Amino acid sequence: MRLTVNGNPIDIDADPDMPLLWALRDLAGITGPKFGCGIAACGACTVLVDGTPVRSCALPVGMVEGDVVTIEGLAGADGLSVVQQAWLDEQVPQCGYCQAGQIVSAHALLEEIPDPTDDDIDNAMAGNLCRCGTYPRIRAAIKRAAAEKARTGA
């Protein structure tokens, strides 16, 4: 079957019931999305499908309709997206394992709500678990990214 991942067509030979996560990681070698729970309960595997964040560990690859974007596909040619740069500036990650999912969710949030309030952040990000407790810096980074996007019109 054919997927479009980060703008590239990818042909994979997968059981349609295989979760998108494992198709990406084991078959396509795209390892940015992480395995955390397998039941859509932690958000480490979050990717965008047609712009909507989905938990790829629970989505059968055969049900994917639309372009898939992973953490690897967020950045433009200059290396880091505005959100990733904000994450770097705020020194958000600790172990870093959940951060691909966090960043993908934050991207989706800022697409829908360019200037999110604390409540908007709570509503959007509570599906992404972080065991290191980086939440205060995640909040700061989302606000920084929002400000930067507003400043540059990105």
User: Between residue 30 and residue 49, which ones bind other proteins under the rule CB under 8 A?
Assistant: 31-42, 44, 46, 49
Nearest to residue 130, comparing CAs of 32, 70, 44, 21? 44
State the nearest-atom distance from the C-beta of 99 to other proteins, in Å: 5
Which residues, other chains included, contact 35 with Cβ-Cβ below 8 Å and sequence gap of 6+? 21, 22, 25, 44, 45, 57
Q: Residue 109 interacts with other proteins (CB under 8 A)?
A: yes
Q: Residue 1 interacts with other proteins (CB under 8 A)?
A: no
Residues 52-91: x where in contact with other proteins by CB under 8 A, - otherwise, as a string: xxxx--xxx--x-xx---xxx--x----x---x--xx--x
State the nearest-atom distance from the C-beta of 10 to other proteins, in Å: 15
**Residue from 69, 82, 99, 149 that binds other proteins (CB under 8 A)?**
99
Nearest to residue 103, comparing CAs of 90, 152, 24? 90
Q: Residue 137 interacts with other proteins (CB under 8 A)?
A: yes
CA-CA distance, 83 to 96, in Å (whole number)?
15
CA-CA distance, 1 to 128, in Å (whole number)?
29
Half-sphere exposure of 109 (CA within 13 A, CB side): 29
Closest CB to other proteins among 46 and 149?
A: 46
State the nearest-atom distance from the C-beta of 149 to other proteins, in Å: 15
